[in-house]
Structure 1
Amino acid sequence: MKKTIIIIGSGFSALAASCYLAQQGNSVTIYEKNETIGGRARQFKKDGFTFDMGPSWYWMPDVFERFFNDFNKKPSDYYELIKLNPAYRVYFGVEDFISICDNLEAIQTTFETIETGSSKKLAAFIKEAKSNYDIAIKDLVYRPGVSPLELITPQTALKLNQFFSTVSRDVRKNFKNERLIQILEFPVLFLGAKPTKTPSFYNFMNYADFGLGTWHPKTGMFDVVRGIEKLALELGVTIKTNSVIEKIVVTNKITTGVLIDGKHIQADIVLSGADYHHTETLLDKPHRSYSEAYWESRTFAPSSLLFFVGFDKKIENTTHHNLFFDVDFNQHAIDIYDQPKWPEAPLFYANFPSKTDETAAPKGMESAFFLIPLAPGIKDTEALREEYFEKIITRFEQITQQKIKNNIIFKKSFCKNDFVADYNAYKGNAYGMANTLLQTAFLRPKLKSKKVKNLFFTGQLTVPGPGVPPALISGKLVAELIHKSIRS
């Protein structure tokens, strides 16, 4: 039976869900509060420069392929992919960096030159990571988090011990060189938690990194947003921007639609791809599934301080993705998770998309964005932003041995207050809720409201978790739940 479905937000999970729901034959309309679609994956343009405002790493290409295959399509029908080589570079000091190549054999060679015997250990480590990847990404993450029994399979039974160890412990058991350890611990940061708090099973992220490689859509991650939007429109989805949801209307514990500009827009089903906590504030208190105390008790992934910068010259001694680990990795993690504050010496990430995409900047110039992970909920002021830009740009100049401050044409900052204003993000988080052991699968906020019939959720605060591939999967999972509810 055809249903009228309203989707709140137009991030990856909402766009993905819209495609599946329209494919089922429903009438689907997306309402987006901002001027443009994409949620955190919006695009920013200025003076001939183009920036992805959010996700910039294209990992797990098989998940994107599986998504488009569900509609008898391929990613290449909508955008072109480039495999990066090097995938990224990690800086530890002046003229001290490690480049990660685009294939495991070359990465093993790099490891061996740094720590004798590590190439064989890396091969075994990645083999185990691939086994976990095959279990997790090809199976477990496509389960809706309804029951703990979803996690119990013959395959996971053999991996049970990995849920009681940590990624950090396993990495340090196999490798001694601190630089190699930090490189192997880095991928789980995408899950929003410290390596010392992330179960060993999640080392499948290392296979996503070393085994599958780092890709880049030809003109940026917004290519993927545009691709899924095109697919959604082909399937009959309607998208309306500049539409702020004021309230989710509930009658007799059943949602009947939403309020926009004081007008009741009726629907049989409401699905929110917006921030989960914010969405529940659109409900009267008796209809909320989770209390403020619940949200306060959760471990959230970091917020971020971002700078989008246009340079009037090419930047040297860098690649597309660059990680600056020249300061204490563990102390920065403490400043995010354990004792939330602005870090004294922050790690940071620098992305130069114009190294790969010549349309990202005018000829002879460079587009860049810099990112500092921060604790969610901390104080955010223009003065602090400027102080930290000066910190990282000074270190960048020292480490890459070049002067660039005087070559800045413009810069735009984006931090906690902007995440709250633009995305209604709880405490200004950038990546959702961390995937710790007690916040995995069925222990995450549910896709289906426990209090209101025909109200559903999708995105990084629910199943399966943070990241673009999980967002696509989340859209599929919630669409399947909605389909079941329609048929029952």
Structure 2
Amino acid sequence: MIGGGIAGLASAALLAKEGHDVTLLEAQSTLGGRAGVWESDGFRFDTGPSWYLMPEVFDHFYKLLGTNAAAQLHLTRLDPGYRVHFESDVDPVDIAADRASNTALFERIEPGAGKALDRYLDSAEDTYRVAVDRFLYSSFESMGQFASREILRRLGRLGRLLLQPLDRFIAGYVNDPRLRQILGYPAVFLGSSPDRTPALYHLMSHLDLADGVLYPQGGFATIIDSIAGLARAEGVEIITDARVTAILTRSFAQRAAVTTGVSYLDDTGHVVRLAADNVVSCADLHHTETELVPVGHRTYPERWWRRRVSGPGAVLVMLGVRGELPQLLHHTLFFTSDWKENFGRIFGRRPSVPSPASFYACMPSVTDAAVAPDGDSNLFLLVPIPADPTLGHGGIDGSGSPTIEAIADRAIEQLSEWAGIPDLAERIVVRRTIGPADFAATLNSWKGGALGPAHTLRQSAFFRGSNKSARVDGLYYAGGSTIPGIGLPMCLISAEILLKRMNSDTSPGPLPEPR
């Protein structure tokens, strides 16, 4: 198993429980991958995912290992779920933890929008249930799942949802630009923009506007710790500081190559060859295919990637702030008025850094006293930018590349102005930034992207990369750059799809949970 992020740990745990002898190799000294953690002067920051959505996916995964989410995590429901500041409006909007309150909110902002939201969320929930039952847990190895009565009955509608962009779909329900932004922003979770994301993904609104948002006390590193513990309990050997340098293969005449294991550099710099019947790479798929797989055996060579679209890059800003910040919630979003221009700069033919930028702020200290000194605030900013490692590295206390630090400075200034915190910059006592070059260097991320390949039509479902090599027998993939896609829940599902693929299980839905 290559990679100790959530997909690698989850895959290792499931395969070990199935009876496989599993060794997991992680290049870094710590586990978690994108879901990392950084600590300084009593402040603790999650360096990656910070939204706990699709709770049933987490619970289902844990049940496959004989436990459940309640036993593994201490989850808190956020209410309000998040706050939105708009460039065009001095008054922020708070999104509640329940559907009825959000319906009333939409109605107050735009008469008639409450009933429209009800219709929208009915559609989102129905689409979500179909996706879970028929698509998300599928390897797409067999197309027979599309011949089911449930799919055939919805075929016309599903086709329209795939072909119509999300922003145009939303425009059919509400007119107020603020409401359109609230319904459209989940496209960013998918590494895309509302005008490039298929309307099928309006199902995401079911997750935050109806299901609500949760938070695991202790931060998202507790999820990594719990899954790593379960993997070890199943017998998985986890080796850190082990950078895989090649996937080893053997070729036969008139047959596909077969994998024989991997070579890696250990913590002393020595080359180690590890034999294996199967290799699962949960590393970035581009890195795996263009760097680790031998030339001539690559399913996804460089020319394949030239036709693909990366999700956005990002500047991450971790700030330890003296005192409390009552103007912010656990999750706060900042939206510029001209979204088209904002997203155009990130995904357009001539990318550039947006200014002002739409960005996201997370302040877990309002929910979790353990992540900051008593009375102080832990503040994490994520500023979407083009996926471009040449923009530079981040650093501690302003020591990053000038471009990255300037982006961070503008975001701090913008937050200070929009949220009404004029002395914010003066109260910062801890600061660290991360840029696209860091994602490329530490995570081998394609183009320095923060998330993975964008969920456009050509990069969703069976159009996304397969989880099995077409040229090397015994080589499989899992994680955010393969099916089903980006995000912690998707990575857990990816691990389950891997298990099904290795067992030649072509069923479309989740595996049965043990009693």
- TM-score, L = length of structure 2: 0.91
Q: Kindly indicate whether residue 219 of structure 2 is the aligned counterpart of residue 225 of structure 1.
A: no
Aligned AA for 2:109? Answer: I
Answer yes or no: is the 8 Å Cα contact 1:148–1:442 preserved in 2: no
Give the counterpart of 1:311 among 297, 321, 342: 321
Aligned AA for 2:390? Answer: K
Q: Shift of the alpha carbon at 1:300?
A: 1.4
Q: Which SS does the other structure have where 1:138 is aligned?
A: helix
Distance 1:151 1:373 in 2: 36
Answer yes or no: is the 8 Å Cα contact 2:336–2:357 preserved in 1: no
Answer yes or no: is the 8 Å Cα contact 1:447–1:458 preserved in 2: yes
Q: Shift of the alpha carbon at 1:442?
A: 1.7
Answer yes or no: is the 8 Å Cα contact 2:162–2:457 preserved in 1: yes
Q: Shift of the alpha carbon at 1:327?
A: 4.2
Structure 1 residues 148 and 193, CA, compared in 2 at 3 Å: closer, same or farther? farther
Distance 1:271 1:211 in 2: 36
Q: Shift of the alpha carbon at 1:156?
A: 3.2
Q: Shift of the alpha carbon at 1:137?
A: 2.1
Give the match for residue 92 of structure 1: 86
Give the match for residue 448 of structure 1: 468
Q: Kindly indicate whether residue 333 of structure 2 is the aligned counterpart of residue 323 of structure 1.
A: yes
Aligned AA for 2:166? Answer: V
Answer yes or no: is the 8 Å Cα contact 1:417–1:428 preserved in 2: yes
Q: Which SS does the other structure have where 1:175 is aligned?
A: coil
Of residues 174-183 and 340-349 in structure 1, the stretch that sits farther from structure 2 once superposed is 340-349
Distance 1:333 1:260 in 2: 39
Give the counterpart of 2:264 among 245, 260, 266: 260
- TM-score, L = length of structure 1: 0.95
Give the match for residue 39 of structure 1: 33
Q: Shift of the alpha carbon at 1:43?
A: 1.0
Q: Shift of the alpha carbon at 1:148?
A: 4.8
Give the counterpart of 1:67 among 57, 61, 70: 61
Q: How does 1:356-435 map to 2 (within 5 A)?
A: 356-377=367-388, 379-381=390-392, 382-402=401-421, 403-435=423-455
C-alpha distance after superposition, 1:363-414 (max 9, x if no partner)? 1111111111111125313111121122111111111212110111121110
Give the match for residue 27 of structure 1: 21
Aligned AA for 2:90? Answer: E
C-alpha distance after superposition, 1:7-47 (max 9, x if no partner)? 00011111111111011111111100001001100111111
Q: Which SS does the other structure have where 2:124 is aligned?
A: helix
C-alpha distance after superposition, 1:275-332 (max 9, x if no partner)? 1111121122111111212112101111111011111221231100010013422211
Aligned-pair identity (%) = 33
Distance 2:311 2:180 in 1: 21
Q: Which SS does the other structure have where 1:83 is aligned?
A: strand
Q: CA RMSD in A?
A: 1.4
Structure 2's unaligned 5+ residue stretches are 252-256, 266-270, 393-400, 506-515
Distance 2:234 2:112 in 1: 53
Answer yes or no: is the 8 Å Cα contact 1:327–1:345 preserved in 2: no
Q: Which SS does the other structure have where 1:116 is aligned?
A: coil
Aligned AA for 2:449? Answer: N
Of residues 147-156 and 248-257 in structure 1, the stretch that sits farther from structure 2 once superposed is 147-156
C-alpha distance after superposition, 1:250-279 (max 9, x if no partner)? 112111111123221111111000011111
Give the match for residue 115 of structure 1: 110
Task: State the aligned residue count.
Answer: 479
Aligned AA for 1:258? Answer: V
Of residues 152-161 and 63-72 in structure 1, the stretch that sits farther from structure 2 once superposed is 152-161
Distance 2:192 2:427 in 1: 36
Q: Kindly indicate whether residue 488 of structure 2 is the aligned counterpart of residue 468 of structure 1.
A: yes
Q: Which SS does the other structure have where 1:480 is aligned?
A: helix
Of residues 151-160 and 14-23 in structure 1, the stretch that sits farther from structure 2 once superposed is 151-160
Structure 1 residues 463 and 450, CA, compared in 2 at 3 Å: closer, same or farther? same
Aligned AA for 2:118? Answer: A
Answer yes or no: is the 8 Å Cα contact 2:7–2:495 preserved in 1: yes
Aligned AA for 1:279? Answer: T
Q: How does 1:99-178 map to 2 (within 5 A)?
A: 99-157=94-152, 158=154, 159=157, 160-178=159-177
Distance 1:168 1:463 in 2: 24
Q: How does 1:237-248 map to 2 (within 5 A)?
A: 237-248=236-247
Distance 1:324 1:144 in 2: 37
Of residues 323-332 and 356-365 in structure 1, the stretch that sits farther from structure 2 once superposed is 323-332
Distance 1:138 1:43 in 2: 34
Q: Shift of the alpha carbon at 1:465?
A: 0.7
C-alpha distance after superposition, 1:182-224 (max 9, x if no partner)? 0000112211222122222211101011121111001111111
Give the match for residue 201 of structure 1: 200
Give the match for residue 4 of structure 1: none
Q: Shift of the alpha carbon at 1:166?
A: 2.1
Q: Shift of the alpha carbon at 1:238?
A: 1.2
Distance 2:217 2:70 in 1: 11
Q: Which SS does the other structure have where 1:285 is aligned?
A: coil
Distance 1:125 1:180 in 2: 12
Q: Which SS does the other structure have where 2:416 is aligned?
A: helix
Q: Shift of the alpha carbon at 1:104?
A: 0.5
Of residues 303-312 and 153-162 in structure 1, the stretch that sits farther from structure 2 once superposed is 153-162
Aligned AA for 1:366? Answer: S
